[in-house]
């Protein structure tokens, strides 16, 4: 158990809908990362937050947005969902010392999103 929690574990929704995925980092970690893992695209880095502020941005679509709250939990919002958004979404956390890119990231168990 990495100490990172993600909810829900599974999510099934329809095209065009909007969903919110939630992540609670390990106690004391200030950085949160979001990743998408699909069969055809592999593991893709989406975005990183550090202590509430966006730190790095990867291949995140404009239909997707994220935020990190004062209690350090994070949410990934996916809107106007398409079939191709079906994937495993992982959250990872690192820190507490600056959460720099050399810090080990601890991954949560993931949320499996299925768009029908």
Where do contacts with other proteins occur on this chain (CB under 8 A)? Answer: 2, 4, 33, 42-45, 48, 55-58, 90, 92, 100-102, 104-110
Write out the two tokens for 105: 């990231």
CB of 16 to other proteins, least distance (A): 29
Q: Which is nearer to other proteins, 4 or 19 (CB)?
A: 4
Q: Is residue 43 classed exposed, middle or buried when 0-12, 13-18 and 19+ CB atoms within 10 A define those classes? A: exposed
CA 84 vs CA 11, 58, 101: distances in Å: 14, 18, 29
Closer residue to other proteins in complex, CB, 92/115: 92
CB of 98 to other proteins, least distance (A): 11
């Amino acid at each position: 158990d990495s100490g990172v929690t993600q909810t829900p574990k599974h999510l099934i929704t329809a095209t065009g809908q909007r969903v919110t995925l939630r992540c609670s980092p390990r106690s004391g970690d200030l950085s949160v990362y979001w990743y998408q893992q699909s069969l055809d695209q592999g593991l893709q880095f989406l975005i990183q937050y550090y202590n509430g502020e966006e730190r790095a941005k990867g291949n995140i679509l404009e239909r997707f947005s994220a935020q990190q709250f004062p209690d350090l939990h994070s949410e990934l919002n996916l809107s106007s969902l398409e079939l191709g958004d079906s994937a495993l979404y992982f959250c990872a956390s690192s820190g507490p010392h600056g959460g720099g890119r050399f810090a080990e990231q601890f991954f949560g168990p993931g949320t499996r999103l299925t768009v029908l």
